[in-house]
């Protein structure tokens, strides 16, 4: 199946700093990528939909100025958590839809963010 | 909006036995896709099986099969010959044919007991 990578897998940062998470589709082109947040033992919470070459669509309650998303190419989307605070600590997961075959979502391995 | 319901927060099964995880959904659409994803302790989401709503035949992938009842809006997952590696969270998901967004259930935590 299609492979999606995510980097870094784990990051610890100080409060007030910004953190960038990369999501790459390795063997296919992805016109659409999704960013999720997952709390322990809970389901995935969709944060935003990232479309190549256009602005991301954010879900209600997600601050677009805090969670900056850039989808500059068909294989890369980035999520930047700006001015991170301890409450932003979470597990962030990206996923991608293969261009032309958009029925199935392929997930990255996730990034664990801890803000001190 | 579409909703996906998984009514079993936790389940357990003896190794080599069969277990069925339930999932129901609500939609007014006729064409859509349904998925089961597995999330093991590593937290990597893995596609287990998918079903197109227009197909009457139930999807099968080795030990995994689904019972898709379109009229009842039910999409259960059957795991045969359960293995220890099947221990994971299982999420049922719905995708409309007209949009890109996926809707996930709350998950079922499955434990395979040796």
**pLDDT tens-digit profile of B79-113?**
999 999 999 999 999 998 877 788 999 999 999 99
Number of Cβ within 10 Å of residue B40's Cβ equals: 13
Chains A, B: CB pairs < 8 Å: 50
Structure tokens at B1: 């909006």
Q: What is the DSSP string of A23-90?
A: EEESSS-EEEEEEEEE-TTS-EEEEEEEETTSPPEEPTT--TTTEEEEEEETTEEEEEE-S--GGG-E
**Secondary structure in 3-state letters for A36-55:** EEECCCCCEEEEEEEECCCC
**pLDDT tens-digit profile of A75-100?**
999 999 999 999 999 999 999 987 66
**pLDDT tens-digit profile of B25-76?**
999 999 899 999 999 999 999 999 999 999 989 999 999 999 999 999 999 9
Out of B33, B42, B105, the one facing A103 most closely (by C-beta) is B33
Interface of A with B in 13-32 (CB under 8 A): 32
Chain A positions in Cβ-Cβ contact with residue B46 (cut-off 8 Å): 107
Structure tokens at A32: 């659409």
Contact between A93 and B33 using a beta-carbon 8 Å cutoff: no
- Phi, psi dihedrals of residue B86, rounded to the nearest 5°: -80, -10
Interface of A with B in 58-97 (CB under 8 A): 91, 93, 95, 97
């Amino acid at each position: 199946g299609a492979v999606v990578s995510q980097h870094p897998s784990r990051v610890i940062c100080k409060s007030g700093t910004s953190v960038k998470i990369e999501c790459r589709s390795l063997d296919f082109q992805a016109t659409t990528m999704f960013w999720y947040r997952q709390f322990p033992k809970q389901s995935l919470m969709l944060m935003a939909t990232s479309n190549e070459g256009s602005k991301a669509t954010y879900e209600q309650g997600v601050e677009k100025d805090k969670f900056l998303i850039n989808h500059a190419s068909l294989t890369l989307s980035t999520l930047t958590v700006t001015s991170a605070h301890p409450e932003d600590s979470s597990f962030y997961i990206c996923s991608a839809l293969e261009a032309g075959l958009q029925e199935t979502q392929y997930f990255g391995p996730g990034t664990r963010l801890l803000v001190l | 909006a579409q909703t996906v319901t998984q009514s079993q927060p936790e389940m357990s099964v003896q190794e080599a036995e069969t277990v069925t995880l339930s999932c129901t959904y609500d939609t007014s659409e006729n064409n859509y896709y349904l998925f089961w994803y597995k999330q093991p302790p590593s937290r990597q989401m893995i596609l287990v099986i998918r079903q197109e709503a227009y197909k009457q035949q139930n999807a099968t992938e080795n030990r995994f099969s689904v019972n898709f009842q379109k009229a009842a809006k039910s999409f259960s997952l059957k795991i045969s010959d359960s293995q220890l590696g099947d221990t994971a969270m299982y999420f049922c998901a719905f995708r409309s044919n007209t949009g890109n967004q996926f809707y996930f259930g709350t998950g079922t935590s499955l434990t395979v007991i040796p």
